[in-house]
Amino acid sequence: MKSTDNNQESLEMATLGGGCFWCVEAIFQQQPGVTKVVSGYAGGEEENPTYQSICSGTTGHAEVIQITFDPKVVSYNELLHLFWRSHDPTTLNRQGNDVGTQYRSTLLYHSNEQRNAAEKSREQAQEYFEDPIVTEITALEKFYPGEDYHQDYYLNNPQQGYCSFVIRPKLEKLGLKH
């Protein structure tokens, strides 16, 4: 999906989920070429879900991020490479201590080109994992931005416990600044 910003530059969007959106948001915000990251919900049935409703496990939504990026600086394939490195795509409905369908590994494509790239990338990534990758690849139907307090969570709360004990080590493992 292409969009245009105020400078009339051609930007694209990617939507993905790799567990808690606070973690993946913090990772992708540091990627050169990413101009915006919005934490939210996708892949479920309920209209206008809330954090409380998706945590019930009954809406079908996953915690995801929607990334706006400049493909002249970073390609969709490069984002996919970071995605596979940033979480464990072999655990169904779980990332670390976060358990539930809202934490599933998912790639939600915006075009057939993204679908094909995601499927090829998943096949290539499998060689780095002993267990089968369970990441779902589906068309994005609707994205719902999360509540304001979920946006820029790590940037706004670096000393919060989850940020200190879960996000910061993940950033360090990936060689990203914190």
pTM for the predicted model, two decimal places: 0.91
Tell whether the model's pLDDT for residue 5 goes beyond 80. Answer: no
Residue with token string 């990534």: 125
Residue with token string 């910061």: 168
Q: What is the pLDDT of residue 62?
A: 96
Of the pLDDT bands very low, low, confident and very high (cuts 50, 70, 90), residue 178 is: low
| Residue 20 a catalytic site member | yes
- Choosing from 20, 23, 55, 163, the catalytic residue is 20
DSSP codes joined into one string, 117-133? HHHHHHHHHGGG-SSPP
Of the pLDDT bands very low, low, confident and very high (cuts 50, 70, 90), residue 43 is: very high
Rounded Cα gap, residues 81 and 16, in angstroms: 12
Indicate the domain borders of the chain: 2-173
85 and 24 Cβ atoms separated by less than 8 Å: no
Of the pLDDT bands very low, low, confident and very high (cuts 50, 70, 90), residue 3 is: very low
Arithmetic mean of pLDDT, 105-131: 97
* DSSP-derived 3-state class of residue 112: helix
Tell whether the model's pLDDT for residue 163 goes beyond 60. Answer: yes
Rounded Cα gap, residues 113 and 153, in angstroms: 31
Q: What is the pLDDT of residue 177?
A: 73
pLDDT above 70: percentage of residues in the chain: 94
58/69: higher pLDDT: 69
What mean pLDDT, rounded, does the chain reach? Answer: 92
Instruction: Note the pLDDT tens digit of each residue in 64-110.
Output: 999 999 999 999 999 999 999 999 999 999 988 889 999 999 999 99
Question: What CATH number has the domain spanning 2-173?
Answer: 3.30.1060.10
Arithmetic mean of pLDDT, 38-56: 94
Q: What is the pLDDT of residue 75?
A: 97
